[in-house]
Amino acid sequence: MERQYILLAVAVLAMGGIAMAQAGGAVPFTEKDLATEANLWKLYEKWRGVHTVSRDLTEKKAKFEVFKKNAMYVHEFNTRKDKPYKLGLNRFADMTLDEFKKKYTGAKTVVRDAAKPKMTAAASTKVADGDVPASFDWRDYGAVTPVKDQGQCGSCWAFSGTESVESINAIVTGNLLLLSEQQVLDCSGAGNCEYGGYTSGVFDYAMQTGIALDCNYPPYEAMDDQCRIDYSKTPMVKIDGFEEVPANNEKALKYRVYLQPVSVHIEASNDLMLYQEGVFDGECGTNLDHAVVAVGYGVTQDGVRYWIVRNSWGDSWGEGGYIRMIRDIDAKEGICGIAMYPIYPTKNCPCAATGAGAAARPKRAGFAKDEL
């Protein structure tokens, strides 16, 4: 298949191409901090000073017990030599997994349409031939906006969908635009904070109606609100449609991620909640409940293959808001089910939004747009 190269001017964002840094949000501690109850309370107060607003005394005591359990677990885990990743006392360290899932996940999936075409024969051949580079990262090509934070709202589906639209729009038009998750949450009908929602619904909305620039809609609130947009006056970014990558096929997913960032769904776990750095290969299931974006893939110096996954829990979580997740494992579903439901927007017309917010559209260099 012929590969078309679109050369665009101006350098990559400062955030693109930088090495993934160790999480700045994890509070450091030593074994001494865990030695006595008094020391643990001091550690908890230190952690609260970084991550938490004040709570009433009853709640604080209950949260301390959860924090203590998590701190002990993090310490014990990080002493192991057989794991390629580390955990930390991040902003979620006083939460149980159930509490965390209710506030910070929220993705739902739809039953796949067996009659819908997924990928052309040519693409499958290229996957089989391994006709893609060993490592690739869309951040190096300015097709990824800065990491965002969904807050205590089950809106990961809105972020994963919107961010995927931002990326395909940047690849096709050369304009990296910040789009509004709040508009998607308020207006798309694809879901809400309490019960979660569907990335496919975000793509359907972006196809039929379009998503406004972030600066043209009220800021993100981490809560549902009424739709506050004048469709007749507000510039919209639209897509042409959306497709699914073949399920349970990491080779096919690798090829598609090479073409564009892809919305993927995973099951959140306790180790994922407390993840700090490294290649994640921890225990997790395939009950998909969290939507994220695969923006690339790579290989460590000792040969461990991984996905580069963008999250929506802020840039203090993980490696600057990202997680590296082990790739090409024996289970066909992939780590945490990452290969079960990959879905991506399609866009062919380089029709950029116009009007307010033009200054937020830096052009990028070096995009390579493949068409199947």
Query: Is 290 marked active-site?
Result: yes
The catalytic position among 153, 192, 193, 290 is: 290
What CA–CA distance (Å, rounded) separates 124 from 121? 5
Which residues have C-beta within 8 Å of that of residue 364, sequence separation ≥ 6? 8, 10, 12, 13, 141, 142, 143, 170, 174, 176
Distance CA 283, CA 248 (A): 18
Which residue out of 153, 156, 193, 336 is catalytically annotated? 156
Rounded Cα–Cα distance for residues 35 and 13 (Å):
45
Rounded Cα gap, residues 30 and 89, in angstroms: 12
**Cα 308 → chain centroid:** 9
Check if 156 is active-site. yes
CB 129 within 8 A of CB 246: no
Report the alpha-carbon distance of residue 217 to residue 178 in Å, rounded: 11
Is 326:281 a contact under the CB 8 Å cutoff?
yes
Whether 284 sits among the annotated catalytic residues: the reply is: no
- In sequence order, the β-bridge partners of residue 347 are none
d(CA 133, CA 298): 9
Catalytic residue among 175, 192, 270, 311: 311
- Phi/psi for 273 (5° steps) reads -60, -40
SS3 state of residue 282: coil
In angstroms, rounded to a whole number, what is the distance separating the alpha carbons of residues 189 and 173?
A: 27
Alpha carbons 245 and 345: distance in angstroms, whole number: 11
Q: How far is CA 370 from CA 28, 127, 140, 158, 260, in A?
A: 44, 14, 17, 26, 9
Residue numbers annotated as active site: 156, 290, 311
